[in-house]
């Protein structure tokens, strides 16, 4: 069976319910993984998704901050929630897709502004988060897809200006090296770059500070879709919905969609 999986840092699912609905109506993915939902589980907007046919919803929410949700119109099972932040923040939820494939939805911390863990504890927390993910990944035995906002742009062509951003959190050498170690720990396949090969520029995030984000195009590829090597041949289509950056009250991230023949 073919299954379409979308991932999107929505930056508050309730504040942007209208563009979530627009996306689901236009693209109709089977599964939608949201990050930064910023809502406690008990007040999640279930009615919106129920009305659109997304009857399966597994949540890891938190009031006003963080939060992830995996929503589907096909049966999903689970859920498990790893505390890779090691402080109880809601940043991960895992489910099992039809056919048994694992789907891990993750929101890596941004890491603050100063790329030095001695001066900025948030940066250290981010590095430790990815280290814990790597230790988990090393033991992974089942085929899996991992998606979400990794808050790291690893390649030179994943940012608008490599040299200008070498000292900016999200593209520093230490973060890039750490993400490479995570990827190598399971031989993860970066599906975004399989379909949009380097050195083509490819971004998924543009700052709100840019008044005309299209004209300046100062973006970064912070959001990713990876799969186990055994699943790579199943990936048949991929899209990044760039127009969503202009919808209504937009997120600063755009959604991505992959189609897998499972």
Express each pLDDT in 157-169 by its tens digit. 999 999 999 999 9
Express each pLDDT in 42-52 by its tens digit. 999 999 999 99
Residues 6+ apart with CB under 8 A from 186: 137, 138, 140, 144, 228
pLDDT of amino acid 72: 98
How many H helices and E strands in the chain? 6, 14
Q: Which of 202, 218, 221 is nearest to 210 (CA)?
A: 218
Strands (E), 73-212: 77-80, 92-96, 102-107, 144-149, 189-190, 205-206
pTM value surpassing 0.85: yes
Q: pLDDT band at 1, cuts 50/70/90?
A: confident
Is residue 232 a contact partner of residue 258, using CB atoms and an 8 Å limit? no
Residues 6+ apart with CB under 8 A from 184: none
Q: Is pLDDT above 90 for 24?
A: yes
pLDDT of amino acid 178: 98
Express each pLDDT in 60-103 by its tens digit. 999 999 999 999 999 999 889 999 999 999 999 999 999 999 99
pLDDT of amino acid 78: 87
Q: Can you tell me the mean pLDDT for 99-125?
A: 97
Q: Is pLDDT above 90 for 223?
A: yes
pLDDT of amino acid 252: 98
- Return the percentage of the chain with pLDDT > 90, whole number: 97
Residues 6+ apart with CB under 8 A from 235: 189, 191, 194, 195, 227, 258, 259, 260
What kind of fold does domain 2-261 have according to CATH?
Deoxyribonuclease I; Chain A (3.60.10)
Express each pLDDT in 245-258 by its tens digit. 999 999 999 999 99
d(CA 40, CA 7): 20
pLDDT of amino acid 122: 97
Average pLDDT over the chain, rounded to whole? 97
Q: Is pLDDT above 90 for 211?
A: no
Q: Can you tell me the mean pLDDT for 101-125?
A: 97
Three-state SS at 199: coil
Q: What is the DSSP letter of 196?
A: S
The pair of structure tokens assigned to 148 is: 């979400």
Q: Peptide bond preceding 199: is omega within 30 degrees of 0, i.e. cis? A: yes
Q: pLDDT band at 210, cuts 50/70/90?
A: confident
């Amino acid at each position: 069976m073919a299954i379409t999986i979308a991932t999107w840092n929505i930056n508050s699912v309730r504040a942007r319910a209208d563009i979530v609905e627009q996306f689901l109506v236009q693209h109709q993915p089977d599964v939608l993984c949201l990050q930064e939902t910023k809502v406690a589980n008990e007040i999640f907007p279930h009615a919106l998704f129920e009305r659109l046919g997304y009857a399966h919803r597994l949540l890891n929410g938190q009031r006003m901050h963080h939060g992830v949700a995996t929503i589907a119109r096909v049966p999903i099972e689970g859920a498990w929630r790893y505390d890779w932040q090691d402080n109880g923040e809601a940043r991960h939820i895992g489910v099992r897709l039809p056919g048994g494939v694992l789907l891990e939805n993750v929101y890596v911390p941004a890491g603050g502004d100063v790329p030095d863990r001695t001066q900025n504890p948030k940066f250290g927390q981010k590095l430790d988060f990815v280290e814990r993910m790597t230790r988990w990944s090393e033991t992974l035995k089942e085929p899996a897809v991992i998606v979400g906002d990794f808050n790291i742009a690893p390649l030179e062509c994943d940012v608008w200006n490599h040299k200008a951003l070498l000292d900016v959190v999200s593209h520093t050498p230490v973060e890039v090296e750490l993400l490479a170690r995570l990827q190598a720990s399971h031989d993860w396949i970066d599906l975004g770059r399989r379909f949009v090969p380097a050195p083509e520029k490819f971004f998924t995030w543009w700052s709100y500070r840019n008044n005309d984000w299209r004209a300046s195009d100062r973006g970064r590829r912070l959001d990713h879709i990876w799969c186990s090597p055994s699943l790579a041949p199943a990936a048949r289509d991929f899209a990044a919905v760039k127009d969503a950056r202009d919808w209504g009250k937009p997120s600063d991230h755009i959604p991505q969609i992959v189609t897998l023949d499972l």
